[in-house]
A = this chain, B = another copy of it.
């Protein structure tokens, strides 16, 4: 997950307590009666250095014994949940049932992992991504995990966006931050739901000079996941220019990979400053270097 890797790099170069990660929840799902927040968990586990580095999701040294039991009991088995990871979902569900908000639960879990930064869901309200396929709508996880994002889509809908309000602290963080970064995440289904929550897009537009986006598209492709394919399927250009067109109203600067140096002028034609650097975060040092470059670009954008 590009956002989590970027965050890890960022925390290496600024005081962690100064960072607020505003995280997508439209990938959340309910399975086995448990509330699963994949993006929040990936961010939390990554920052806790507890993520499985090979899979990029879930916990390292994980076991899968409960899954075999779910299968025995006729419960869905297409969404893998590790035994340790299950405890996270159980505790989250328990606390939500007890009346806590998702941001309260998320803060509790982050504290338990000794995180010094703030991790906050974009909203405490229900927000769910559905994609339209030839054979009807699928929930995000049905599409992403169940079908391995191998079916073409013709539309995306964020259920609940009409009424979802930003979680406490989200608008304040966007108003007060020295720098705002749109992480190198899927613009459609990772950043898109954030922008669909009431007030977020306006808050970013208002801070546009301090907002830097990092392109998740490198040389027309995503390092991982269906971002490029989704952009194409939904009529966007699967390139840094396509990304610039999605972000130009809310971000002054787009950071693109060296592989896209030849498109920098095209990005600038879309009205964004373009910074060319290495964006492949293959190790923590590269993540930190990218974070430094992004912060400098934000300072430059803000005219400092």
Which residues of A line the B interface, CB within 8 A?
Answer: 32-34, 62-63, 65-70, 72-75, 82-84, 86-88, 90-91, 93-94, 97-98, 108-109, 112-113
Copies in the complex: 2
Nearest B residue (CB) for A109: B73
A88: B residues at CB distance < 8 A: 69, 73
- Chain A, interface SS category: helix
- The answer to whether A87 and B109 touch (CB under 8 A), given A33-B94, A97-B33, is no
* Nearest B-chain residue to A64, judged by Cβ: B83
Given contacts A91-B75, A109-B73, contact A83 B65 (CB under 8 A): yes
Cα(A69)–Cα(B63), bound, Å: 13
Return chain B residues, CB-CB under 8 Å to A91.
Answer: 32, 69-70, 73, 75
User: Given the interface contacts A33-B94, A93-B33, does A86 sit within 8 Å of B74 by beta carbon?
Assistant: no
Partner of A65, one of B69, B84, B90: B84
19 contacts between A and B (CB under 8 A): A33-B90, A33-B93, A33-B94, A34-B90, A34-B94, A62-B65, A63-B63, A65-B83, A66-B83, A66-B84, A66-B86, A69-B87, A70-B90, A70-B91, A73-B91, A73-B109, A73-B112, A75-B91, A83-B83
Contacts of A69 in B (CB 8 A): 84, 87-88, 91
